[in-house]
Amino acid sequence: METLLLTENVMKIVAGIPSDELELPFTPPFDWVRMLRFFSGRATGGVETVDEDVYYRTLDIAGDTGLLSVRRDPLRNVLIARIDGEASRHLGTLTPRLSRLFDLHTQPDAVREGLSQDPWLSRLLDAAPGLRVPGAWSGFELVVRTIVGQQVSVKAATTIVGRLVERAGTAAGTPSHPRTPWHFPTPRALAEVNLDRIGMPTKRVATLQHFAQVVADGELDIDHDEPDVETLRKQLLDLPGIGPWTVEYVAMRAWRDADAWPATDLVLMQAITRALPDLIRKSDQLKHAQGWRPWRAYVAMHMWNEIADQAGQARGG
């Protein structure tokens, strides 16, 4: 493997492709396998992928393009992020963004201390002690994905998002991974593209393009580095066709709200009812979930993870 990586690096140097690497430390345990499983099941088609325990995505930063790859160091508690291409000049500025993407600031002991008093959650924590809440490279991209995913399966949403990328995105140049030949559409491009026969109901297309227009016009700063989460919640919820589930899911992943809680998620509601049969009504579940604060986003991830472990597939989110 080391010989292969050396050969690849030499080839890039010969080809004149700039590259750079960055080490991102974390506090163990860190479940890289389940992190990648989550991303793999929800990858933005043509833009990001998981291959051989490595996360890849195309980048366009201020007009500089490139390919991001992130892997876990097998011997140390660090992730190694690499950018090949002109975008590599920006790598030093991306530590906060990459830390949010892979939830690297979390202290697992704090999560355990906050949740282990609940016998059910204690069991889930024991089953996956290094589970994190996967983030998002772009809040805009995540909201698009979430709108597309309303009332359809994870797999169907992935297919439709791939079509959106091909219609409104731009082709990636060299370097790129074979499964990442595109850059994600800009808000303006997505707002203006023709989405006839894309595989979505007309009302959902309208919701999607209205959201993209609002972001393109600067009325909603969905990707602020230091988000005002409560203000963003209200702004997003005020848009037509966007409900509480979407807002809480985005708060979990894009805005890093550890206490976000998508209470109307059907998989979560069913999981709670199976484990706690007395909690059938949503109001009772909401009341019970107050005891999980301020770590409810991690509770959601552990519930989704248990279902995924049992089913052998990506469910939830």
Q: Which two tokens stand for residue 313?
A: 């597939």
CA-to-CA separations, 305 to 99, 132, 187, 271, in angstroms, rounded = 21, 10, 32, 11
Q: Which of 240, 232, 233, 236 is nearest to 204 (CA)?
A: 240
The closest of 162, 245, 152, 155 to 204, measured between CA atoms, is 152
Say if 21 falls within a structural domain: no
Q: Tell me how far apart the alpha carbons of residues 73 and 51 are, in angstroms, rounded to a whole number.
A: 16
Contacts 24+ apart (CB under 8 A), 61-67: 61/87, 61/90, 62/90, 64/89, 64/90, 65/172, 65/173, 65/183, 66/175, 67/172, 67/175, 67/176, 67/177, 67/180
> What is residue 150's predicted lDDT score, i.e. its pLDDT?
87
pLDDT at 84: 97
Q: Residue 116: in which H helix or E strand, if any?
A: none
Which is nearest to 270 in space by CA: 260, 279, 262?
Answer: 279
Distance separating alpha carbons of residues 211 and 206, to the nearest angstrom = 8
Would you state the pLDDT for residue 297? 98
pLDDT recorded at residue 15? 53
Would you tell me how many other CB atoms lie within 10 Å of the CB of residue 108? 19
What CATH number should be reported for the domain holding residue 156? 1.10.340.30
Q: How far apart are CA 187 and CA 40, in angstroms?
A: 24
Note whether residue 222 is domain-resident: yes
In a domain, 181, yes or no: yes
Strands (E), the chain: 19-25, 48-51, 54-61, 64-72, 78-84, 170-171, 182-183
Q: Could you tell me the mean pLDDT of each successive run of 10 residues in the chain, 317 residues long?
A: 37 62 98 97 95 97 96 98 97 96 97 95 96 97 94 90 97 93 98 96 97 98 93 97 96 97 94 93 94 98 94 59
For CA atoms 41, 42, 43, 46, the dihedral sign is positive
- The answer to whether residue 196 sits within a structural domain is yes
Q: Is residue 189 part of a domain?
A: yes
Q: What is the pLDDT of residue 19?
A: 86
Domain count, the chain: 1
Q: Are 134 and 305 in contact (CB under 8 A)?
A: no
Would residue 106 count as lying in a domain? no
Q: Which amino acid is at 194?
A: N
pLDDT at position 17 = 83
Question: Is-contact 242 147, C-beta < 8 A?
Answer: yes
Domain membership flag for residue 295: no
Q: Residue 178 sits in which domain range? A: 139-253
Please give the pLDDT value at position 106. Answer: 96
Q: Within a domain: residue 126?
A: no
pTM for the model? 0.91
